[in-house]
Amino acid sequence: MKSIARNVTSTVALLALLAATADAQVLTLEEVRAMDWSGAIPVKLKAATDGVFDEGPDYWYDCEDEWFCESDVIIDRYDFPIAIYNNGQHPLDDLVFLLAYKDGDFSSIDVGNWVVTREDFYDNNGEPFGPAGNRPGDGESALYNGAEGVVFVRIGTGVARKDTVEIPIEVHPLRMIGGLTIHFDFYGVTFRHDAVSTVALDRERKDSAPGDASKMCRSEFVACTNAASHDITWDSPCYPSATIEETWGRVKTFLDRRGRE
């Protein structure tokens, strides 16, 4: 009995260690495809940049540009937090951000503890993005058919049920005025650990033999995502030029004088 208890304790400790050591990283297409996207993906995540997860002060309602319609929109700064709320009944082992950009260029984007470069993005013409711009999963529609590049980024942190985590974002565009738009969507991931025989994993090894000890193999299940109305869009701050500010200052002074006469 002590041996069984010790084995159970060791297994639990191993699983806890694996769950706690998820690394932030940019996922390759092969890594994205290797995740389990089966079935409909429930809408359980909410995102916000202003602390309000349902139509806060940064929320844009109807907009002709679908990238901004029903989204928290950031237009006044290059660094900002994205808070993710897990509205589900189960904890999530990790979060994956899906970024898309258009109409501009950049040197890098800081997503949590990871730096994403322009070269990390891939186009959306092939899998897992079909000709309609669909994401992996059960035919979920997306606006990424209008994107110049997309990328999945593993955050490396989980979130408990009915809890929130905050991820810092910083954008480093090549031009400081206008032109670049970046859209963020989100996925919650849970880890599944299955005992896989080393014989199956190492069939080509001559020293493999029946009875070899099994090892834990982790698979990643996409457990939830955000609704289309609870995403984030960043647009380049378009600050007025010094000439415009000076001209407006003169006009304002002139109008103030006229008003006092």
Residue 49: predicted pLDDT: 93
Average of per-residue pLDDT across 200-204: 49
Look at 128 and 7; give whichever has higher pLDDT. 128
pLDDT single digits (tens) 20-73: 345 679 999 889 888 998 878 899 999 999 889 998 888 999 888 888 989 999
pTM: 0.74
Say yes or no to pLDDT of 197 above 70.
no
Q: Which amino acid is at 186?
A: F
Range scoring the smallest mean pLDDT among 13-22, 46-55, 167-176: 13-22
Note the pLDDT of residue 150.
87
- Sequence-distant (≥ 6) Cβ neighbours of residue 247 within 8 angstroms: none
Q: Could you tell me how far CA 46 lies from the centroid of its own chain?
A: 12
pLDDT higher than 50, residue 1: no
241 vs 157, more confident:
157
Q: Check residue 253 and give its pLDDT.
A: 57
Residue 224: C-alpha distances to residues 22, 66, 84, 137, 186 (Å): 18, 22, 12, 10, 9
Q: Is 177 among the domain residues? A: yes
| Interatomic CA distance for residues 189 and 206, integer angstroms | 36
Q: How many CB atoms lie within 10 A of CB 123?
A: 11
Counting every residue written for the chain, the total comes to 261
With cut-offs at 50, 70 and 90, classify the pLDDT of residue 16: very low
DSSP state of 118: G
Mean per-residue pLDDT of the chain: 77
d(CA 253, CA 197): 80
Instruction: Show the tokens assigned to 88.
Output: 């589900």
Structural domain contains residue 160: yes
Please state which of the ranges 36-40, 120-124, 155-159, 251-255 shows the lowest mean pLDDT.
251-255
1 part of a folded domain: no
pLDDT band at 204 (very low <50, low <70, confident <90, very high): very low
For residue 162, being part of any structural domain is answered with: yes
Tally of domains in the chain? 1
Query: Is pLDDT larger for residue 1 or for residue 119?
Result: 119
In-domain check, residue 211 = yes
The amino acid at 202: D
Domain coverage including residue 54: 24-260
Query: What does the pLDDT look like over 86-103, one tens digit per residue?
Result: 999 999 999 999 999 998
Q: Name which residue leads in pLDDT, 49 or 238.
A: 49
Q: Does some domain include residue 247?
A: yes
In a domain, 12, yes or no: no
Q: Report the SS3 class of residue 139.
A: coil
Would residue 9 count as lying in a domain?
A: no
Structure confidence at residue 187 (pLDDT) = 95
Task: Say what the pLDDT of residue 254 is.
Answer: 55
The residue type found at 42 is: P
pLDDT at 124 over 70: no
C-alpha distance from residue 2 to each of 11, 16, 213, 224 (Å): 14, 21, 20, 39
